[in-house]
Amino acid sequence: MKIFIESNFVVPGLEDEAGLEIDQPEITLREFLEKLSSMSPDRVEYVEPGAQALDPSDWEVEINGLPYQDYEAGLEHLIKDGDSVTIRIVALGGG
Amino acid sequence: MDELRVVGKSVERKDGRIKVSGKARYAADLSAPGMLHGKILRSPLAHAKILNIDTRKAEALPGVMAVVTGKDFPNKPYGVRPDTRDQLPMPITKVHHFGEGVAAVAAVDEDTAEDALDLIKVDYEELPVVLTAEDALKPDAPPVNEFKESNLAYFSDFNFGDVESGFKEADYIREETFSSQRVTVGFIEPHACLAEVDPTGRILLQGSKQSPYITWRNMCRGLGIPLSKMRIVNPFVGGAFSGKHDPFDVDFAAVKLAQKTGRPVKIVLNYDEVLAAYRQRNAMNARLRLGVKKNGAITALDAECVLEGGPICGIGPFNIYYFGAFLNIPYKIPAIKYHGELVYSNRAPCGTVRGQEVVLAQFALDSLLHMMGEDIGVDPVEIRTVNAVTDNWTTANGIVVDVSGLSRCIEKSAEIIRWKESRKSRPKGRGIGFSCASHPSGPRLGGHFGSTVTLKLVEDGKIIVTHGGTEIGQGCNTVFCQMVAEVLGLPIEDVEQGVSDSDTTIFDSGMFGDRCTFWDGNASILAATDLKKQLADIAAKLLEANPDDLEFKEKRIFVKGNPEKGIDFLLAVRKAYYEEGKPLYGRGYWAATDIDIVDWKTGRGNLAHGLDFIATAIELEVDRETGKVTLLKSAHGDDAGQPINPLMLDGQVLGGSTHLMGHALMEESHYDENAQALNYSWRDYKQPTSMDVPLETIVEHIHTHDPYGPFGAKGAGEASSCSTLAAIANGIYDAVGIRIKDLPITPEKILLALKEKKEGS
C-alpha cells in the first residue's frame, strides 16, 4: 500500500518521495513513524520509546487532515492504503 | 490620527541612567546566601574521544563542594528542531571544538574552583579535525557530531518562479563567488548565571539570556525535567545579538552543581572563554548567478551557499532558510533558485549574529548587483531604484510587502551622501558605496509563537509593565512603556517596567528577527486598551456618560469634546481599589496568525509582516600606501514605519551598521591547522572602536505606516547590519577600482589587489 506524506520539512530518508510504499495492508501510526525513523540516516526520533503520544512541542501530525489525537486509537490508529499523513516540525528558536 | 504625545518622541530610556551609572545588576553582580563559585575545565583539543575523566583529586581539594561532567546529565540531545538535535549539556564521549567545557567545579571561592580544575585529569584520544566546509564534505572526512553520520548537517533547495525563463529574458548574466569569515557575536557582557534549587527541588536560573523561553525549554529537555520545575528570571543583559538564545554549559553546569550541593552556584565566564568557545557567525562560501535587463532590472537569480557552522546544527536551519527565503527582498526578483548547505566542523559552534544570514546573502547580492550595474552602465542609485520592492508587492515566494519606503530610502541616502556631486569631483582614493536591505519583523514558527503583555495599575496611578520580550539593550522596555502611556493618556514617567520572570510572565518564543517592537508592541497596545476599557466603565458611571465617549489625556478621563466633564485618572483608580475592591490588570496578546508558518521545505508563503527597509551609503577613503580604509560618512535612509522613539531608532540603525563595519574590515576568528583558536582575547581579536567608525553618521527616517505594526511601526535594528557589508565593499571599489569578494577586506588584501591591478594594467 502507499501512504502519502505531507510535511513542512524534508523528511530524512524520503527526500524526493511524496509517499511511502509499505508491504502490508495496514500499519499503525506509531509503526509508520518508527518506519520513517528507521529510514532516516540519523534515526530521527518521532516517537519517544514507550510514549503514548507524540511530544506536541516537537511534532504536529495529522491523518487525512485531522489531528491524530482526534482518532480514538491515537498513535495506534491504523493507516490504510491511500491515506495521507501530515507531519509538521515545531521549531524552537530563531536568529 | 490624533496627535501623538509620547509615541514618536525621543523620551529618555527607562534603563539609561542605571546602566550608565553602573547600578544595573547583571548576572555577574548577583549573589545569594551560601553561594558557591563555579569554573569550567575546557578541552585543549578540537576533536578527541574522551576516554576518562578523573575528578577524585579535585573533589578532595578543601573548599571544593562538587564536580560535574557530561555523565551527570541525561544523554538527551537538545536543539532547535526535533530532527536536528545534536547538542548535550556537556560532552560525554568526545569533544568537538577547542575550549569545549568537559567538567565544572563548584567551590567556596573562585580561586579554589580554579585550582581544582588543574586537578581534573582527562584522558583524550585525539581525532583528525575538520576545519573548513571543503574538508567537511570530503568523502573520507571524519564525522564531527556523534548524532549524525555525515558532516552535512542540513540542506535546503528552494525554487521560486521560472528561473530558466528569467535567465532567457536577461540581457546580461554574470556569476561570481563570495565568501565570509568566522566572526564573534560581539556583545559586551560575557555569559554568566546564578542557579539555585529550592527545598522542593525547583530550579531558579538567573542568567544573561536573550531568549529565556528558548533557554527554559532546551534546559528542561537537557535536564530531563518538566517546565514547571524550572523558573527563569532575567536580570539586566549586556547585549546578545543572537549569541545568547541557547543554554550553554555555563547554565547547565551551574544548575547541576546547585542540585548536587544544595547551594546557589554562580558561574561567570571571562571574555577569552567567550571568544574561544561560544557562538560565532558561520563562515560562508556563496555562488550567485544573476540575470538583468539593459536597464538593470533583475530577471533571475541562481544562488548557492555553504555555511560552515562548527560542531552543532543549532539554529543553522534558520540560517539556511533565511538566506534563501529572504533573497526575495529588498529587490524584485521574479525567479530564484537556491541551494543551501550547513556543514559541521571542529571550529567553535555557530549561531548567528545580528541580521541573521540575510547579512551574508545581501553582501553577495548587493555586491554583484553593483558589479553588473558597472558592466552595463547603470548608475548604482538607479539600479537599486529600478529593482526596489514597492507597496503591495508579492515576492516570488509569496511574501506580501504591505508598505515599502525603499525607493525613498535610496533617494535620501544618495542625497545625504551627495552622490551626484561626488561624480563630478572627489578627492583621490575616496569612494561611495551603496547597498539596500530589508528584514522581516519576526517569522511565525510552529508551537508557541505569540506575544503577551500584562499591565498592573497600582493604586497610586502608576503602571507596571511586564512582557514576554527581553530587554537586551535594544530599548524594548522603553518603547512598550511609551505605547502604554500613549493609549492611557499618561506621561511616560507614570509607566514602569517590571521584572521578566517565567512564574509571572508568558515568555515570547524568542527575541530574534526584529520581532519585539512589532509583536510585543501590538500586545502592549491591546493590554493598555483592556485597562482603558475597565477604567472607562468606572469613570462612565461617575460621569453618567457612555464609556465609548470617554477620552484619556493628561492624566484625566473626560467626555470627548467636553474636557470639563471629567475626572482625574487617579480618582478612577482609587474608585476601583477602594470602593469596588477591584484590581486593575490589563492583558494583551498578539500573534500574526494570518502569516504562514515557516515552511522549511519550500521557503514559500507569506512569511512575515512589517518588512523594514534601509538604503545605506558609506563614503570612505582608501590609503593606497597602507591599504587602510577610513570610513568617513554613513547615510541611512531607513523605513521602520512610524518611529516610536526616534533617538533610540537612530541608535538601532547606527548600532547595526557599526557592528558590521568590523565584520567588513577587520574581524576574524582564526584557527590553526589543528582547529585551535588563535586570537581569543581582545588583544588579538579586533573589533571596531569609536576611532574606526565614520565621524559623520546620518539617519533619515522615512515615515511609513505599517498596517499591522503598533502605531504603524515596523521592526528595526537588523536591516542596517544587512546593508553595511556590501556598502563598504562597493565603496572600496568606487574608491580604488578593486573588487574584494572575500571578507574581511583587510589592508593586506587591498594592497595585494592594488598590486595585481597595477601589474595587470
Domain ranges of chain B: 16-22+445-590, 31-127+187-240+244-277, 280-444+598-760
Largest CA distance in chain B: 89
Alpha carbon of A54: minimum distance to chain B alpha carbons (Å) = 11
Interchain CB distance below 8 Å, B600 and A89? yes
Interchain pair B445, A44: CB under 8 A: no
Question: Which element (helix H / strand E) includes B113?
Answer: helix B110-118
Minimal C-alpha gap between A9 and chain B (Å): 4
Q: Do A91 and B80 touch (CB under 8 A)?
A: yes
So what's the pLDDT on residue B624? 97
Question: Is A95 inside any structural domain?
Answer: no
Cα B689 from chain centre: 20
Cβ–Cβ contact B445 with A under 8 A: yes
Question: What is the enclosing helix (H) or strand (E) of B157?
Answer: strand B152-160
Contacts of B14 (CB under 8 A, 6+ apart): B477, B478, B481, B496, B497
User: Is A94 contained in some domain?
Assistant: no
Question: Within 10 Å of residue B640's Cβ, how many Cβ atoms?
Answer: 35
Give the pairing type, strands B336-343 and B298-308: parallel
Cβ contact (<8 Å) for A92 and B443?
Answer: no
| Domain count within chain A | 1
A64 touches chain B (CB under 8 A): no
Is A10 in the B-facing interface, judged by CB distances under 8 Å?
yes
CA B349/CA B46 separation, integer angstroms = 11
How far off is chain A from B238, nearest CA to CA, in Å? 17
Contact assignment for A94 to B150 by CB distance below 8 Å: no
Q: Is A14 inside any structural domain?
A: yes
Residue A28 belongs to a domain: yes
Interhelix angle B316-325/B358-376, nearest 10 degrees: 30
Chain B nearest-CA distance from A78, in A, is 24
The pLDDT assigned to A16 comes to 80
Question: Is A8's CB within 8 Å of B600's CB?
Answer: yes
Do B750 and B640 contact (CB within 8 A), yes or no? Answer: no
Chain B residues within 8 A of A46 when measuring between CB atoms: 82
Residue position matching grid coordinates 586570537:
B679
Is B107 in contact with B63 (CB distance < 8 Å)? Answer: yes
How far is A22 from A5, CA to CA, in rounded Å?
Answer: 13
Residue of B nearest to A36 (CA): B83
Could you tell me which chain A residue has the CA closest to the CA of B603? A8
Judge if B16-22+445-590 and B280-444+598-760 fold alike in CATH terms.
Answer: yes
From B445's Cα to the closest Cα of chain A, the distance in A is 6
Question: CA of B244: which chain A residue's CA is closest?
Answer: A95
Q: What is the pLDDT of residue A15?
A: 84
Identify whether A10 is part of a domain.
Answer: yes
Rg, C-alpha atoms of chain A: 13
Contacts with A89 from chain B: Cβ below 8 Å? 81-83, 446, 600
> In chain B, what residues touch A10 (CB-CB under 8 Å)?
155-156, 600-601
**What is the architecture, at CATH level 2, of domain B31-127+187-240+244-277?**
Alpha-Beta Complex (3.90)
Cα–Cα distances in angstroms (integers) from residue B152 to residues B93, B283, B342, B348, in the given order: 21, 15, 6, 17
What distance in Å separates the CA atoms of residue B215 and residue B402, rounded to the nearest whole number?
A: 33
- Answer yes or no: do B82 and A7 touch at CB < 8 A: no
B321/chain A closest Cα distance in angstroms: 11
- Nearest by CB to residue A57, choosing from B150, B318, B447, is B447
Chain B residues closer than 8 Å to A88 by CB: 446, 597
A-to-B residue pairs, Cβ atoms closer than 8 angstroms: 91
Three state DSSP letters for B47-80: CEEEEEEECHHHHHCCCEEEEEEHHHCCCCCECC
Chain A touched by B309 (CB under 8 Å)? no
Q: How far is B146 from chain A (nearest CA, A)?
A: 10
CB atoms B598 and A45 under 8 Å: no
Q: Quick check: A15 contacting B, CB < 8 Å?
A: no
Write out pLDDT tens, residues B9-49: 999 999 999 999 999 999 999 999 999 999 999 999 999 99
Is omega for the bond preceding B334 within 30 degrees of 0, making it cis?
A: no
Interface contact flag, A89 B214, Cβ < 8 Å:
no
Does A90 contact chain B (CB < 8 Å)? yes
CB proximity A19 to B under 8 Å: no
Q: Is the pLDDT at A94 greater than 80, yes or no?
A: no
Out of B148, B322, B447, whose CB is closest to A95? B322
Amino acid at B721: S
In a domain, A76, yes or no: yes
Q: Is B418 on the interface with A (CB under 8 A)?
A: no
pLDDT at res. B1: 53
Q: Is the dihedral angle over the CA atoms B216, B218, B223, B226 positive or is it negative?
A: positive
B575 burial (CB, 10 Å; 0-12 / 13-18 / 19+) is middle
Q: Which CATH class is domain B280-444+598-760?
A: alpha beta
CB B428 within 8 A of CB B623: no
Inter-chain touch B315–A95, beta carbons under 8 Å = yes
**Residue B760, φ and ψ in degrees, nearest 5:** -70, -30
Least Cα separation, residue A1 to chain B (angstroms): 25
Query: Over the stretch B42-87, which tens digit does the pLDDT of each residue have?
Result: 999 999 999 999 999 999 999 999 999 999 999 999 999 999 999 9
Residues of chain B with pLDDT under 70: 1-2
Of A8, A44, A93, which has the smallest distance from its Cβ to B597's Cβ?
A: A8
Q: Do B599 and A40 touch (CB under 8 A)?
A: no
Contacts of A55 in chain B (CB under 8 A): 82
Residues B470, B474, B476, B477: is their CA dihedral positive or negative?
A: positive
φ/ψ of B428, rounded to 5, equals: -60, 140
**How many Å apart are CA B153 and CA B342, to the nearest integer?**
5
* Contact residues on chain B for A60, CB-CB shorter than 8 A: 446
The whole-angstrom separation of Cα B519 and Cα B726 is 30
Dist. CA B188–CA B176, nearest whole Å: 36
Cβ–Cβ under 8 Å, residues B631 and B616: no
Check if B509 contacts A (Cβ < 8 Å).
Answer: yes
Check if A58 contacts B (Cβ < 8 Å): yes
A23-71 tens-digit pLDDT: 999 999 999 999 999 999 888 999 998 899 999 999 999 999 999 999 9
The torsion defined by the Cα of B199, B202, B203 and B204, in degrees rounded to 10, comes to: -80
pLDDT at B164: 98
Distance CA(B544)–CA(B383), nearest Å, equals 62
> May I ask the CATH architecture of the domain B16-22+445-590?
2-Layer Sandwich (3.30)
Residue of A nearest to B354 (CA): A95
Taking an 8 Å cut-off on Cβ atoms, the answer to whether A8 and B319 are in contact is no
Note whether B217 and A57 are within 8 A (CB). yes
Q: Which of B78, B83, B448 to mutate to test the interface with A (most CBs of A within 10 A)?
A: B83
Q: Is B242 on the interface with A (CB under 8 A)?
A: yes
**A90, B352: Cβ pair inside 8 Å?**
no
Q: What domain range is A50 assigned to?
A: 2-89
Check CB contact of B510 with chain A, cutoff 8 Å. Answer: yes
Kindly report the pTM of this predicted structure.
0.97
What's the burial of A32, exposed, middle or buried (CB within 10 Å: 0-12/13-18/19+)? buried
Measured between CB atoms, which of B147, B217, B598 is closest to A92? B217
CB-nearest to B601 from A10, A40, A55 is: A10
